[in-house]
Chains A and B, each alone.
Chain A
């Protein structure tokens, strides 16, 4: 079982809906990530939070809004999505090497939230 928990596992929403994806880890990791994965494609980085601050936004459309309420939680708020946003959304966490302030490279992924936008 993964130590990163994502909810919901499946979500179907209309283009006018507002929903949120949630992610939780209790490994003490200070870097958390959102990735998007389409079928037969690799995970694509969306956002990185380090020490609860947004450090990387890969030019993601504003209809995706991340939030990191504390060091264990990461949310992704969804609003006015398009059908092409349907994908598996993966949350991950990693340790940060405090001296170098870089991630260790070992990502722990949740099982993902499979999103369908109608």
Chain B
């Protein structure tokens, strides 16, 4: 079983739609959680951090459920420019031996159509 699992999609949605992505992680030593965005043939970039209390940044809302080891990303009012791959990322603690490492999920591809 992969440490971080996502539905690869693709999700094809019309402009203006609301779309939700889910992610599960298996290692309870995971400390912090993020969504990254990667455009085609570009490097990944941080979209937002994910907290148990939930956090919102404009049209984007992220949520963490530690009990279920589940992370979500909601995009409202989709724009054409939202088309990209969304990567769920888990920061696994290294304890005293290292600074930890970020484990990437497979990514979910979103295609927003006019």
Contact B101 A56 (CB under 8 A): yes
Interface extent on B, as a size class?
A: 20 to 34
Contact A106 B44 (CB under 8 A): no
Contact B100 A107 (CB under 8 A): no
- State A5–B79 Cα separation when bound (angstroms): 30
Contact A50 B98 (CB under 8 A): yes
- State A32–B46 Cα separation when bound (angstroms): 16
Judged by a CB distance under 8 angstroms, whether B13 is at the interface is no
Interface extent on A, as a size class?
A: 20 to 34
Query: Using a CB-CB cutoff of 8 Å, which residues 18-63 of chain A contact chain B?
Result: 31, 41-45, 48, 50, 55-56
Judged by a CB distance under 8 angstroms, whether B72 is at the interface is no
Contact A90 B99 (CB under 8 A): no
Query: Using a CB-CB cutoff of 8 Å, which residues 95-118 of chain A contact chain B?
Result: 96, 101-103, 105-107, 109-112
| Nearest CB in chain A: distance from B31 CB, A | 7
A and B contact pairs by CB, cutoff 8 A, 10 listed: A42-B87, A42-B106, A43-B104, A44-B104, A55-B94, A56-B101, A102-B94, A103-B100, A105-B32, A107-B36
